[in-house]
Amino acid sequence: MATAVPPAAPPESRRAPAWRRALRNPRISIAGGLLLVAALAAALAPVITPFDYRDQVALPLTGSGLLGTDDFGRDVLSRLVMGMRTSLVVAAAAVVIAAVLGVLAGLVAGYLGGWTAVAVTRGADILLSFPAVVLAIAAVAILGPELRNVVIVIGVLYVPRFARIVYVQVLTVRSAEYVDAARVMGAGPMRIMLRTVLPNIAAPIIVQTSLSLSFAVQVEAGLSFLGLGAQPPLPSLGTMVAAGRDFLEVQPSLLIHPAVVIIAIVLALNVLGDGLRDLLDPRRAAR
C-alpha cells in the first residue's frame, strides 16, 4: 500500500514585507541596529553627554569619568560622542549631495543618451581615475580647512559613483514595456525618469548609499586627522585619533576609543550594504 508523501514545505514567501525579510537577515538587523544606536547617540549628543565637550572637568590625562580625560582635562566620553556626531553629519551631508547630483546625472545620461551620455560618462571616468583621498586632500587644502568645504568636496568626488550605477541601470530598463507604456500615454521625459524609471532602479542606489557612507566616514576621518577637517575645539573622530597618537605611551585609550568607533561604523555600513544587496537583488534572493 503506497503511503502518502507529505508535501514539501513551501519556500519563504517572496511577498513577505521588506521590513520582515530585513529583520530575518542577521547582517541587516545587527549592523542596522548598531548604526541606529550610533545615529541616535549622535542626534542626542548635546543631551546625553555628561559634560560639555569644551569644558575642563578634571586634571589632564586622568581616569576621571567613564573614559577619562584628554590632555586638556576635557571629558573623553563627551568628546567621543560629539566627534561621532560631527563625522556622521559630514558623511551624511556629503552622500546626500553625491546621491542627488549623481542620480540626476545618471538618469539624464542613460535615458537621453547622445552627447549627454558622453559628457557624463567621460567626466565620471576622469574623476574615478584619481584616488578620491588624494583629490579630497588637494581640494580641501585649496578651499580651506572647513567642514563645509569637506562636505562639498566629498560629495562632488562621489557623484561619479552614483552616476555610473544609475546610468547602467537606466540603460537596462529604458526599453522596458512599462517605460514604453508611459511614453505612449503622453508622459514627458522628466516624468518618465522620475516616476517610472527611478523607482525601478532604487535597489542599487540604496546599496550604493550605504557603501558611500562608509567611504565618506573614512575620508572625513582622514582629512580631520591631517588637520583639514573639523577645527578645535570641535571634535571629530579623526582629530581625536590625531590627538591621541601623541599620548600613545601615556594613555593609549585616547587613540584606541575613536579608532574603534571608526572601525565599528565603517564595518557596520559595509555589512549593511552587503545585506541590502542580498535583500534587494532578485537574482540573489532566488538563489
pLDDT at residue 102, as a whole number: 94
Q: Which of left, alpha, beta for 113 (phi over 0: left; psi -120 to 50: alpha)? A: left
pLDDT at residue 149, as a whole number: 92
Which residue in the block uniquely carries the three cell numbers 567621460?
A: 122
The tens place of each residue's pLDDT in the chain, 287 residues long, gives 444 444 444 444 445 666 677 778 888 889 999 999 999 999 999 899 988 998 888 888 887 778 888 888 899 999 999 999 999 999 999 999 999 999 999 999 988 888 888 999 999 988 888 888 889 999 998 998 889 999 999 999 999 999 999 999 998 888 888 888 888 888 888 888 888 888 888 888 998 999 999 999 999 999 999 999 888 889 999 999 999 998 888 889 999 999 999 999 999 999 998 888 888 765 555 55
- Which amino acid type is present at position 16? A
What is the distance between the alpha carbons of residues 193 and 197, in angstroms, rounded to a whole number?
Answer: 5
Give the tens place of pLDDT for each residue, 157-173.
999 999 999 999 998 88
Number of domains the chain is built from: 1
Q: Which of left, alpha, beta for 122 (phi over 0: left; psi -120 to 50: alpha)? A: alpha
pLDDT at residue 161, as a whole number: 92
**Does residue 255 belong to any structural domain of this protein?**
yes
**Does residue 82 belong to any structural domain of this protein?**
yes
**Does residue 71 belong to any structural domain of this protein?**
no
| Omega of the bond leading into 233 within 30 degrees of 0 (cis) | yes
Q: pTM of the predicted model, to two decimals?
A: 0.86
**Does residue 11 belong to any structural domain of this protein?**
no
**Does residue 111 belong to any structural domain of this protein?**
yes
**Does residue 145 belong to any structural domain of this protein?**
yes
**Does residue 168 belong to any structural domain of this protein?**
yes
Distances (CA, A) of 166 to 98, 154, 157, 160, 274: 12, 19, 16, 10, 18
Domain range for 188 is 78-282
Q: How many residues does the chain have?
A: 287
Any idea what the CATH number is for the domain that residue 170 is in? 1.10.3720.10
User: What ranges make up the beta strands (E) of the chain?
Assistant: none
What the block records as the C-alpha cell of 47 is 543631551
**Does residue 196 belong to any structural domain of this protein?**
yes
- Residue 96: CB partners within 8 Å, gap ≥ 6? 155
What is the distance between the alpha carbons of residues 234 and 17, in angstroms, rounded to a whole number?
Answer: 42
